[in-house]
Amino acid sequence: MENWLAQRTRAFDVSGIRRFFDLAANMRDPINLSIGQPDFDVPDEVKEAAIAAIREGRNGYALSQGMPVLREKLQARIDERFHHADREVFVTCGTSGGLVLAMMALIDPGDEVVLPDPCFGMYNALAAMMGGRVVPVDTYPDFHLDPDRAAAAITPRTKLILVNSPNNPTGAVAAPEELRAIAELAAQRNVALLSDEIYHDFCYDEPFTSPAEFNPQTIVVDGFSKSHGMPGWRLGFAHGPAAIIGEMIKLQQYSFVCAPQPAQWGGAKALEVDIRGHMDAYRRKRDLVIDGLREHYEVVRPHGAFYVFPKAPWGSGTEFCTRALQQHKLLVVPGGNFSRHDTHFRISYAAPDAALRRGIGALQAMASRS
């Protein structure tokens, strides 16, 4: 049967994050700091809005561009923020769905995609799926995307620069001047710019900045999975120039078809919910983890998302994470799942405080190889 398979299936491997997530499902009382999934539940009023939609019979196909109840609210917010004459929004099946459609709309075989290293592994896989070639830009040791390095990575084949701030897996938040430089670089070189802003609410020390503030051609993907504890609802959105968004909607019609209709009614209510309490709690979790590790590990203090990306104190990231699993039932993800360099590991602090304290204790014990 192998000869039946398309070549794109060989261009990337199964998600290493999912492998660790699956391991946790079969372990008794693991310390699971591996998955980027909020530990708070969907707000009750959001649940009730979706339940009401189901009971009222709103269970058919939604419009491919999204139901007006949600899409119009999103458009109003985006217009108020960016004031772009040509910026349209549509509803996607999660932020991942938006990323898939953006890559499908933009990347042809042989096109180059400039990515920060480390980055979310899906970016590499999607570029490969479309026949594109990834050009990684090293961001070590501080995990900030240097505009000069990005400029040096651009060639005549470059089609897209992808940025993600706050960043998965590092938690780094790009400074406004860095994003301005990247945005202007993309405009000057006539290269598409895609900004993954799924963690935009998780900025703990400074306000969130989007590169779309500096380059009106920027395509943005975002969603409700992280901010409202709704990853299983598969509800996201994308916005950008109408010509690009129109092509993404066309592709959605022949792939995802539409985002789930009841979830969209819940999403409309979610836009009215105050989530600042959760953000304050995650800022405190960030501080708890950093305070527990900084004397034992080489670690850059993250300013956003809900990840810490320490350097493994010995061995490779994979060796270290394997030992953590075997000796302490601690699940953290090797840095090689996000990077060419398997030197670090990712901790997700989207977990109960008790799990974080157990994890910190295990990591303190593992700081020396003895």
**Which pLDDT score is estimated for 57?**
98
Element spanning 181, H or E: helix 176-188
Same fold for the pair 2-42+275-366 and 57-270: no
**Which pLDDT score is estimated for 2?**
73
**Which pLDDT score is estimated for 19?**
66
Contact, 94 vs 225, CB < 8 A? yes
Query: Going edge to edge, which strands form the sheet with 112-117?
Result: 88-92, 236-240, 219-223, 192-196, 158-164, 112-117, 133-138
Element spanning 275, H or E: none
Please state, in angstroms and rounded to a whole number, the distance separating the CA atoms of residues 195 and 212: 8
Domain 57-270 has CATH 3.40.640.10: yes
Please state, in angstroms and rounded to a whole number, the distance separating the CA atoms of residues 270 and 268: 5
Please state, in angstroms and rounded to a whole number, the distance separating the CA atoms of residues 345 and 51: 39
Please state, in angstroms and rounded to a whole number, the distance separating the CA atoms of residues 254 and 119: 29
DSSP conformational letter for 4: G
CA neighbours closer than 13 Å in the CB half-sphere of residue 92: 28
Domain segments of the chain as ranges: 2-42+275-366, 57-270
- Read off the amino acid at residue 233: W
pLDDT along the chain (370 residues), means of 10: 83 69 75 94 98 98 98 98 97 98 98 98 96 97 96 98 98 97 98 98 97 98 97 97 98 98 98 96 98 97 98 97 95 96 98 98 90
Instruction: Give CA angle at 199 (40, 272), nearest 5°.
Output: 65
What's this model's pTM, rounded to 2 decimal places? Answer: 0.95
Fold (CATH) for 2-42+275-366:
Aspartate Aminotransferase, domain 1 (3.90.1150)
